[in-house]
Amino acid sequence: MTWKWVKKFVFAVDATGGASGRQNEESGEAAAAQGSSSHLPGKPLLNYCERCGACCAFFPVSFPESDLERLCDRRQLIDMSAPLAGARRIMAGTQLAQPRCAALQGEVGVRVNCTIYANRPSTCRNFTRSWEDNQGNSLCDRARGVFGLDQFSQY
């Protein structure tokens, strides 16, 4: 595995060209000097979203009921959502005044994961991190800002 440093993010690139990244509070040179000591052995490196989770704890998440048809294991998504009008459903917890998706585990801005990631609704699948595909996402930036996290955007 080779390492590349870009700004303050460290990316691990494997032999197949797949990449994962984690935020590093130090410069690339300092990180190189200490190796990957902040990375837990046997655990995959965290991607940006696994270090954030702000969107899952800020926005209501509704999705079409047709999402259930595409899933082999739809029980999980049914159990963690409620019906809405117009053939839609809403993820549990996201309809509250202070929303937080019931599928979100961990601490926003530190380390989070989605307990239904493989079966997440299309709304979540289609939500992109700001500048992930060289396009800003003001919703991502707004959610991060509410939790005191820096924006990814380059506006």
The ranges assigned to domains in the chain are 1-35, 55-146
Give pLDDT tens digits for 22-47. Answer: 333 333 333 333 333 333 445 555 68
CB under 8 Å to 59, separation ≥6 — which residues?
A: 94, 99, 139, 143
Cα–Cα distance, 14 to 65 (Å, whole number): 38
Confidence at residue 48, expressed as pLDDT on a 0 to 100 scale: 86
59-103 tens-digit pLDDT = 999 999 999 988 877 888 999 999 999 999 999 999 999 999 999
pLDDT tens-digit series, residues 3-14 = 333 333 323 333
Q: How far is CA 1 from CA 4, 24, 29, in A?
A: 10, 18, 17
Please state, in angstroms and rounded to a whole number, the distance separating the CA atoms of residues 116 and 121.
9
Q: What 3-state DSSP class applies to 116?
A: coil
CB-neighbour burial class of residue 43 (10 A; exposed 0-12, middle 13-18, buried 19+): exposed
The yes-or-no verdict on residue 56 having pLDDT over 90 is yes
Say what the pLDDT of residue 2 is.
36
Contact, 53 vs 106, CB < 8 A?
yes
Neighbours of 119 (CB within 10 A): 21
Residue type, 52: C
Q: What is the pLDDT of residues 93-144, one digit of tens each?
A: 999 999 999 999 999 999 999 999 999 999 999 999 998 888 889 999 999 9
